[in-house]
Structure 1
Amino acid sequence: MIFKEADDHSAEIAELERLKGLAPKAAKAIEREIRNIRSGASGEESAAHFINREFGRSERLAIIHDLRIGTDDDFAQIDHLLIHRLQATAWVLETKNYSGRLSCNEHGDWTVWYSGKPRPVPSPVAQAERQCRALERWLEQHGMGWIREVRPVVLVSPKSSVDRRISPKGASIVKSDHFSTWLREQWEGIGDGAALKMLVRHAVKGMSEANLRDLGGRLVGAHVPATRDWAAKFGIAVDARKDEGDSQQPSLEEQPAAKPDKSLGITEVVETPHGRITIARIPDGRFSIRNTPDEQLIDLVKAACRGKAQWVPRYRNWLVTGERLPEVLELLAGRSTSEPAALR
């Protein structure tokens, strides 16, 4: 059962192309970002195609592509998630679209080799394991006790090669076009005794098809699409204001991404029984939400911002867009409220 398809990245690419034309100095960095998005999307789409073709009609398997769920103060981004109803097992798949040779040394350092030249890369195994832990936290927080095991898998491009002389512990590394064969081998390799125990356990307190549909639906319902402020990332502030009767080209200048700017003079202070909440507009147009370090107030702000705002550890504040600010304020107030006049 396919609960969610892979996301479409065309809007992101279109926005980056627009910014590239506005900011020649940042054009090379923006072009690299576009290539990275296209490469990543290509790898995920290829993997999704193989997975859907082989398992899309299975009533025992839930399939979710491009899942982004909130956990604690952050988000978990899962490329592909498969949940088997009878085995009560979830596979978290991290996709890497490398076209070179992938290797790992005895220290756990990963390298991709292109034409004999090494390029260090973050550990895909560590990434997959982090997403597994995040999913386990989400399942626990939402009372989803049906899943007994969450396993990490790294999917690599069929065009890449993997140096397996040193096999890293943790996740399995599988080529995306071989994944269906690999997964069936995992199912068939559990042994008759283990299979019998699994069926007995399932019959007593296993996950029904309705449970699987409910779990898949709740995960997709918790999905929070990524919203990236590309202009802020590349230090571009677009001022589209026009002079009297004359249109002018947008002016571009570097701006900090997350630190409130007191010179803007747009700040709202909310006094609560547990302390103060300060809301201020930052230069890129978003709003910073900061609170005094009271445990109850921290929990209140976290609950209101989760899934709607981005946590910034460096400044110890939340960032939220103007569109979503009224939702956050309504939750903070615990009743229907409108946006403060100072923040309009």
Structure 2
Amino acid sequence: MNLQVGVCATVILKEADDHSAEIAELERLKGLAPKAFKAIEREIRNIRSGASGEESAAHFINREFGRSERLAIIHDLRIGTEDDFAQIDHLLIHRLQATAWVLETKNYSGRLSCNEHGDWTVWYGGKPQPVPSPVAQAERQCRALECWLQQHGMGWISEVRPVVLVSPKSSVDRRISPKGASIVKSDHFATWLRDQWEGIGTGTALKMLSRHVMRGMSEANLRDLGDRLVGAHVPASRDWAAKFGISLDAQEGGCSKQRQVLQDLPAAQPEKSGDLLKVVETPHGCIKIARIPDGRFSIRNAPDEQLIELVRAACRGRAKWVPRYRNWLVTGDRLPEVLEVLSGCSTSEPLAAS
């Protein structure tokens, strides 16, 4: 049965981010830290390998579904959920089924296997190398996407499904596989996905169409959802110098670059009429503190994973997280405690509001 509801233009809403600047920074740091040379080289290889796997998967997805009338396609999506981030390699949204597929890409060249305890291994030349569970990673991204949809009132998606895409050059030992896990080679994904669609019988298809009409997953809804997801994308930002133990002096003003990132960020709504009081320097970057009209203080940081953990640890139990504006709010009497954890500053600094 052929279900058609209008005609939608090509909906590849976002391609993968460019990693060239990231690699260039790592190449620069190699010359500043000879002791970290091998570790930085390994990081560069990992970035290039991951980008290559995602690029290969995106090629197959775009070729097969880039002109689909029913799908929205987003590559390399990083969105904030509460005080954390979700990194989704590829996201496909089917407007009639109101279903999203979250694809986790792994560019393994060896044989992937899982034992009865759920431990995953990649075998290279008969030698095992333990790896984090790709299925668990995909499932975490699904939960994060569901959380984001709920937070933003986007109720058009009824189901989010995890899929692990592996390289066409890899092999998968399927004798033991976690329940409900979908592990697919990227060059076979189009066939696999169409098989999922064709498994829908006539009765189910009619129910699906009825649900689609009731839930309002129209072309406009799909485009709005896709645009809002892409608009929420935050490119990854890593303090590579801090990771490899390179001093700030050796970074040639690296912290000033972090401060510029903070200054370039759009201000959270409560801060539009607030006053910037302090930029706290930390080993992982800088944090902006501003007084807001009600007398409390807003704490915001650049979207760096290490910095997020630092701020979260400092604010937990002392400040309130505000998901809508993506900042922490703290009263004047608790601010010195937060500052002490963040930067080791004196608790007697008179920054409290009256």
TM-score norm. by structure 1 comes to 0.76
Q: Tell me the distance in 2 between the aligned counterparts of 1:287 and 1:37.
A: 27
* Equivalent residue in structure 2 for 1:71, among 54, 72, 81: 81
State the alpha-carbon separation in 1 of the partners of residues 328 and 137 from structure 2.
Answer: 33
In structure 2, relative to structure 1, the CA distance for the partners of 1:234 and 1:288 (3 Å cut) is farther
Q: Which residue of the partner structure matches residue 321 of structure 2? A: none
Which secondary structure state, in structure 2, belongs to the residue aligned with residue 224 of structure 1? coil
Which residue does 2:145 correspond to in 1?
A: 135
SS in 2 for 1:286: strand
Percentage of identical aligned residues: 79
Written as runs of structure 1 = structure 2, the 5 A alignment for 1:25-36 is 25-36=35-46
Q: Deviations over 1:25-63 (max 9, x none)?
A: 000000000000000000000000100111111121000
SS at match of 1:59: coil
Residue 282 of structure 1 aligns with which residue?
282
Q: Partner residue of 1:99?
A: 109
CA contact (8 A) 1:281 1:288 kept: no
Per the TM alignment, residue 317 of structure 1 is displaced from its structure 2 partner at its CA by 3.5
- Pairwise CA RMSD of aligned residues? 3.3
Q: Secondary structure at the match of 1:311?
A: helix
Kindly indicate whether the alpha-carbon contact (under 8 Å) linking 2:83 and 2:312 is maintained by their aligned counterparts in 1. Answer: no
* Higher deviation after alignment, 279-288 or 5-14: 279-288
Change (3 A) 1:198 1:283: closer
8 Å CA contact 1:78–1:94 kept in 2: the answer is yes
- Number of the residue aligned with 1:16: 26
1:228 is aligned, of 224, 238, 242, to 238
* Displacement of 1:169: 1.8
Contact in 1 for aligned 2:74/2:90 (Cα 8 Å) = yes
Q: What per-residue deviation string (whole Å, max 9, x for no partner) do you get for residues 6-38 of structure 1?
A: 111111111111111111100000000000000
User: 1:103 aligns to what SS in structure 2?
Assistant: strand
Residue 308 of structure 2 aligns to a residue in which SS? strand
Unaligned stretches of 5+ in structure 2? Answer: 1-10, 256-276, 316-324, 331-350
Asked if residue 204 in structure 1 is aligned to residue 201 in structure 2, the reply is no
Question: 1:186-205 maps to which residues of 2 (within 5 A)?
Answer: 186-205=196-215
Q: Which residue, 313, 320, 329 being the options, matches 1:316?
A: 313
On the 8 A contact 1:158/1:176 being kept in 2, the answer is yes
Distance in 2 (CA, whole Å) between partners of 1:286 and 1:23 is 23
Write the letter of the residue equivalent to 2:119. D
* Structure-2 separation of matches of 1:203 and 1:87: 11
Letter in 2 for 1:109: D
The residue number in structure 1 matching 2:130 is 120
1:293 is matched with none
Partner of 1:174: 184
Once residues 97 and 284 of structure 2 are traced to their aligned partners in structure 1, the CA distance between those partners, rounded to angstroms, is 48
The range that moved more, 37-46 or 164-173, is 164-173
Q: Once the 2 structures are TM-superposed, how far is the Cα of residue 86 of structure 1 from its aligned partner?
A: 0.1
1:4 alignment partner, one of 6, 9, 14: 14
Give the AA of the match of 1:89. Answer: T
Structure 1 position 205, deviation (Å): 3.1
Cα deviation per residue 1:218-264 (whole Å; 9 max; x = unaligned)?
A: 000000111111111101024269xxxxxxxx79xxx9xxxxxxxxx
The one-letter amino acid paired with 1:95 is: T
Structure 1 counterpart of 2:200, one-letter code: I
Give the match for residue 272 of structure 1. Answer: none
Give the drift of 1:199. 1.4
**In 2, Cα distance between the equivalents of 1:212 and 1:95?**
24
Instruction: Verify the 8 A CA contact 1:311 1:317 in the aligned structure 2.
Output: no
Q: Are the equivalent residues in 2 in contact too, given 1:101–1:163 (CA < 8 A)?
A: yes
Aligned to 2:226: 216
Alignment of 1:248-259 (within 5 A): none
